[in-house]
Amino acid sequence: MIIVCGGIKGGGGKTTVATNLAVMRSLAGKDVLLVDADSMDNRNASDFAALRKEKLGRSDLTAVQLQGKTLGQEMTRLGEKFDDVIVDVGGQDSINQRSALVVADVLLVPVFPSSFDVWTLENVSTLIEQARGFNDRLRAFSFLSRADSTGSQNEDASELIGEYRNLVFLDTPLRNRKAFRVASSQGLGVVELRPKDTKAISEMEALYRTVFNIKTIS
């Protein structure tokens, strides 16, 4: 399965989602390709993979950088060697993202629960509609990321997300927890961090289960 973590607004946690899903898939025994398709000066997924290799003393997942109009073709070619391809395209309407969506099975759009961030989904919806002109199997999902621990803002944002066409809302929020940042800074998935943050692990595992059972979502 080819999964793109995208959107057109930065700061939503796309790299966190991409790297954690890649790690968890690798821990499940799958051959995973992590594609860093963010801008050349913002290589978060690549940096994560390098940190991980340094931390573990080995590389247990394959990471590559791909850019430009041929990105989709390269993803397809390389993807034949892997069980799953997980792509971080960064937070902008870029050639990289458009090229990736032409060959993707799933688009995941993590959204920070603010009105300004949620409103960008209108343009994301248009982007999805255009991509489906070339790729009718593309399915697109959005969920809250860096969500608040308390207050009504999460609920308000969730209701708004559910109104956008071409996107299915997933009730699998990732809250704004220090564990996600600490794990990423060490090249680890949050499920590997010690001491454990059981709440952060539970949230990421819920998203993981949902994503890899995506065919059951109507």
pLDDT given for residue 92 in this prediction? 83
Contact status, residue 101 vs residue 128, Cβ threshold 8 Å: yes
Confidence of residue 9 (pLDDT cuts 50, 70, 90): confident
Nearest to 7 by CA among 131, 107, 157: 107
Backbone angles phi, psi at 103, to 5 degrees: -120, -5
pLDDT given for residue 37 in this prediction? 93
Give the model confidence (pLDDT) of 148-180 as tens digits: 877 678 888 888 888 888 999 999 999 999 999
Report whether pLDDT(218) > 70: no
CA-CA distance, 114 to 74, in Å (whole number)? 35
Nearest to 207 by CA among 190, 194, 182: 190
Report whether pLDDT(215) > 70: no
pLDDT given for residue 153 in this prediction? 81
CA-CA distance, 101 to 139, in Å (whole number)? 10
What lies within 8 Å, CB to CB, of 51 at 6+ separation is 185, 186, 187
Q: Where are the domains of the chain?
A: 2-216
Contact status, residue 124 vs residue 12, Cβ threshold 8 Å: no
Angle at 101 between CA 95 and CA 105, to 5 degrees: 160
pLDDT given for residue 52 in this prediction? 93
pLDDT cut 70: percent of the chain above it: 94
pLDDT given for residue 186 in this prediction? 93
Give the model confidence (pLDDT) of 36-72 as tens digits: 998 655 668 889 999 999 989 888 889 999 989 889 9
pLDDT given for residue 109 in this prediction? 96
Evaluate the omega torsion of the peptide bond into residue 110 and state whether it is cis, within 30 degrees of 0. no
pLDDT cut 90: percent of the chain above it: 68
Q: What is the mean pLDDT of residues 78-101?
A: 92
- Mean of pLDDT over the chain: 91
CATH superfamily of 2-216: P-loop containing nucleotide triphosphate hydrolases (3.40.50.300)
